[in-house]
Structure 1
């Protein structure tokens, strides 16, 4: 929908200017550790680990840190054992939220998540309360200056392209089945088209458009959640009109 920003787009724009990213490496280390524990330390045979390493390298994580995280996951080095727990709930204006965490202390994490939600006009729901609204997809961002939309679609259809979102003024968002994300990346690499933020994403079936006041409340809640070291990712079905974004940006 032209003139609107979905949460994934808003999040990327915020990351480009937001300096509150001190816990980014912590989150990346946890993801690498968990991926290595679940699928082994060889990225060639572990797609989740390969994707986690690619993400870490795109965010300038040193290879020594990556290797240590892998060895902690495989048990070659001592380290905390993390459990993956997903919480579901609602934010201001009834926005659906899915909160993915990796924790070595379940009781601490749920208490902190509940506290953040209650302080920011949100509430935790039962498992499955909003999860049915989202689908797990491979997501890759391509600069619009790197390729024409028709060429990109033609190139990626055989690799597994399901949808090409062109709403953002600067990026295409390529969506595919999770199993096809490596094939899509390879198709782009083979013709020299650079991409960013290749990841597994939770994409909502439908979005709820918010005006500036409610959108600001939801963003503050998500910021607070993402500031927690145990939170790996937050997904939302929020959409903001261009007018509301201009108001928020002041």
Structure 2
């Protein structure tokens, strides 16, 4: 019974850690969006997307409003910068690390440390980015929508791919340059995404055995736990 309790407790703490990480990430996104476009979601598409993403991870409304208020009032003096880092995990797996930081010196030192401690290597800008497509990814609820009809309606707004995930939600992918157009098109059609974000999709993948994959995941886990890291992408199959 004690062992079962420990496993459940560990799982619960891991879930809380993931939730806290998601809230922190969205808080930074809100700060950047407000700085660039103001605190009125009606006039700031980027802020609207942040609010949608907050709902998607069940971030409490009062926390979202507090983050917006801090940014609008200038109480959050942090100047965030979005920086991408590139490198290789063990066994030749390409890694892209998207960060939001107020101190690039600290961030690059930490990212390099994570790579070094797990047998990977941090590369120069452009060393692996060409192995990924940067796409806009929208997740929407399938509330009686016909995928073929939706595809025809959205193809002129940059739709590249349409499909469903394991939960039955509709996934839309668009090019990086058409991300804003797709967001606007969905708004005009009255469709509110569960989430909308830019992702890096690998052009080719590397297949590893279980032990090799475990070594790669050690690096990914370390990076994802770093406070400055927003997302980690890889080309492991």
Q: TM-score range by the shorter chain?
A: 0.7 to 0.9
Alignment of 1:148-167 (within 5 A): 149-165=147-163
Partner of 2:40 in structure 1? 42
Partner of 2:137 in structure 1? 139
Tell me by how many angstroms 1:184 deviates: 4.8
Counterpart CA distance in 2 for 1:45 and 1:186 is 13
Counterpart CA distance in 2 for 1:52 and 1:174 is 18
In structure 2, stretches of 5+ residues that fail to align are 1-12
CA RMSD in angstroms comes to 2.8
Alignment of 1:33-72 (within 5 A): 33-72=31-70
Tell me by how many angstroms 1:197 deviates: 2.9
Partner of 1:81 in structure 2? 79
Counterpart CA distance in 1 for 2:91 and 2:144 is 37
Partner of 1:178 in structure 2? 179
Counterpart CA distance in 2 for 1:121 and 1:188 is 48
CA offset digits 1:56-91 (Å, max 9, x no partner): 122222333223322443453243222222111111
Alignment of 1:1-250 (within 5 A): 19=15, 20-21=17-18, 22-142=20-140, 147=145, 149-165=147-163, 170-176=168-174, 177-186=178-187, 189-190=190-191, 195-239=193-237
Aligned residue pairs, count: 220
Three-state SS of the structure 2 residue aligned to 1:235 is strand
Tell me by how many angstroms 1:230 deviates: 0.9
Tell me by how many angstroms 1:179 deviates: 2.1
Q: Decide whether the 8 Å contact of 1:87 with 1:98 is kept in 2.
A: yes
Three-state SS of the structure 2 residue aligned to 1:229 is coil
Tell me by how many angstroms 1:32 deviates: 0.7
In structure 1, stretches of 5+ residues that fail to align are 1-16, 240-250
TM-score normalized with structure 2 length: 0.78
Q: Decide whether the 8 Å contact of 1:84 with 1:102 is kept in 2.
A: yes
Q: Decide whether the 8 Å contact of 2:49 with 2:195 is kept in 1.
A: no
Counterpart CA distance in 2 for 1:116 and 1:170 is 36
Counterpart CA distance in 2 for 1:174 and 1:235 is 18
Q: Which has the larger radius of gyration?
A: 2
Three-state SS of the structure 2 residue aligned to 1:126 is coil
TM-score normalized with structure 1 length: 0.75
Q: Decide whether the 8 Å contact of 2:101 with 2:228 is kept in 1.
A: yes
Q: 1:208 to 1:141 in 2, by over 3 A?
A: farther
- Higher RCO structure (Cα 8 Å, ≥6 apart): 1
